[in-house]
Amino acid sequence: MADRALRVLLDGTPLLGARTGVGRYTASLAEELASSSDVDIRAVAFTLRGWRKLRHALPHGTQARGIPVAARLLRKAWVRSQFPPVELFAGVTDVVHGTNFVLPGRLRAAGVLTIHDLAFLDVPGELSPSDHELPELVRRGAKSADIICTPTAAVADIVAERLDVDRGKIEVTPLGVDPAWFTARPPSDERRERLKLPKEYLLFVGASGPRKGLDWLHRAHDADPELPHLVFVGPGPFPLTDRSTHLGYLSEVDLRSVVAGASALVLPSRDEGFGLPILEAMACDVPVVCTDIPVLREVSGDCAGLVPYDDVDALAEALRTAVSDPHVVTTSAARRTHAAGFTWRHTAERTIKAYQRAANR
């Protein structure tokens, strides 16, 4: 294969609909891979309807394929076997990359699987009915994959231990920060009015859910009435009070502006796979307060205020400090320099290494 680019088939399903963290990862990775001479990428969407929209979500010139089988039926089949192999619908390929926890059935292609975190193993009751088979699919995929990708070394260690796989077959592929974040500016008066943003606010960015620590955040916020208004951005529902607001899903342009205008970004999760909003906030010089857990320590470096999970007084104090003295933890230059060390080009290079290792196994 040395004389030609590796043929890689990506699961592009996360590109359809509103982009959450996995969607943004898949989109940014696809953009970088499309510009690489080392790989020739195509993408497939595992959805019976709407897969043609994938053509408009991919980099220019990247081929899109659909599978005329409902995703739930495919998952039920792949829990038991490799049938139907994805090559049956999408054509011959060297590597199949499951970008979103599930490795499709394969015939001859090598398999690369991205596992973003394993939170669902501890709280399976939080899974939606459509994800009922996810734990078993991830276990099977981890066993059959030639290479596993994880966004952090902390997740890699957990995957190796919890799924009983060789740590040596895990490639850490950290996520990246789009360069536009480094030039983001706080919202104009017009944007602030359109979004109904208060002048000062604390910000949470991400999907809601039990593992996000939002009840803890509300208790800490309520403990100090002097703290700025609390703003949530992302797919809900979110618990709200008269001192909090949910903006819903924002465009990339609006999101960058809202983050840049925040007094501080807070990520109080009990579990994360990466925590990209931390780096995006640092890129536009916004102080960060987050939970003191291995993943967030790894991603934030020494540039965030770290708080023990569920410690209300400590979280309230960290938020007060971030608002009153935004440089008490680190300087603006240090924050931006740390964020600049994470690029999507680096993500793609590490992922291509994973493809090459998989193809040679």
Q: At what angle do helices 252-260 and 276-283 cross, to 10 degrees?
A: 70
pLDDT of residue 2: 55
205 part of a folded domain? yes
Burial class (CB in 10 A: 0-12, 13-18, 19+), 350: middle
- Can you tell me the distance from the alpha carbon of 344 to that of 185, in angstroms, rounded to the nearest whole number? 22
- Can you tell me the distance from the alpha carbon of 361 to that of 357, in angstroms, rounded to the nearest whole number? 6
- The contacts of residue 173 (CB under 8 Å, 6+ apart) are 114, 149, 150, 151, 347, 350, 351, 354
pLDDT of residue 190: 97
Report the predicted TM-score, pTM, of the whole model to 2 decimal places.
0.94
Q: What is the DSSP letter of 182?
A: G
E strand or H helix that includes residue 231 = strand 229-233
- The contacts of residue 153 (CB under 8 Å, 6+ apart) are 172, 298
Same domain as 208, residue 170: no
1 part of a folded domain? no
136 part of a folded domain? yes
Largest CA distance in the chain: 65
What's the domain range around 232? 179-340
Are 326 and 63 contacting, i.e. CB atoms less than 8 angstroms apart?
Answer: no
Same domain as 148, residue 207: no
Same domain as 244, residue 113: no
- Can you tell me the distance from the alpha carbon of 288 to that of 219, in angstroms, rounded to the nearest whole number? 18
Distance of CA 21 to the CA centre of its chain: 3
E strand or H helix that includes residue 320 = helix 312-324
In the chain, how many domains are there?
Answer: 2
Same domain as 115, residue 70: yes
211 part of a folded domain? yes
155 part of a folded domain? yes
> What's the average pLDDT block by block, 10 residues per block, for the chain (361 residues)?
84 86 94 96 87 87 85 88 91 97 96 95 74 90 97 98 97 98 98 96 94 96 97 93 95 97 98 96 98 98 97 98 94 97 98 98 85
Same domain as 205, residue 74: no
pLDDT of residue 168: 97
Positive or negative torsion for Cα 188, 189, 191, 196: positive
- Can you tell me the distance from the alpha carbon of 118 to that of 163, in angstroms, rounded to the nearest whole number? 9
305 part of a folded domain? yes
Same domain as 18, residue 122: yes
Same domain as 251, residue 129: no
307 part of a folded domain? yes
Same domain as 233, residue 167: no
Same domain as 33, residue 90: yes
What would the DSSP string read from start to end of 2-41?
TTSPEEEEEE-GGGSSS--HHHHHHHHHHHHHHT-SSEEE
Same domain as 144, residue 240: no
Same domain as 109, residue 43: yes
- The contacts of residue 139 (CB under 8 Å, 6+ apart) are 163
Same domain as 257, residue 356: no
pLDDT of residue 53: 87
Query: Domain with 245 in it: what CATH number?
Result: 3.40.50.2000
pLDDT of residue 330: 93
- Can you tell me the distance from the alpha carbon of 196 to that of 229, in angstroms, rounded to the nearest whole number? 12
Burial class (CB in 10 A: 0-12, 13-18, 19+), 351: buried
Are 269 and 209 contacting, i.e. CB atoms less than 8 angstroms apart?
Answer: no
348 part of a folded domain? yes
What are the tokens at 161? 């231990």
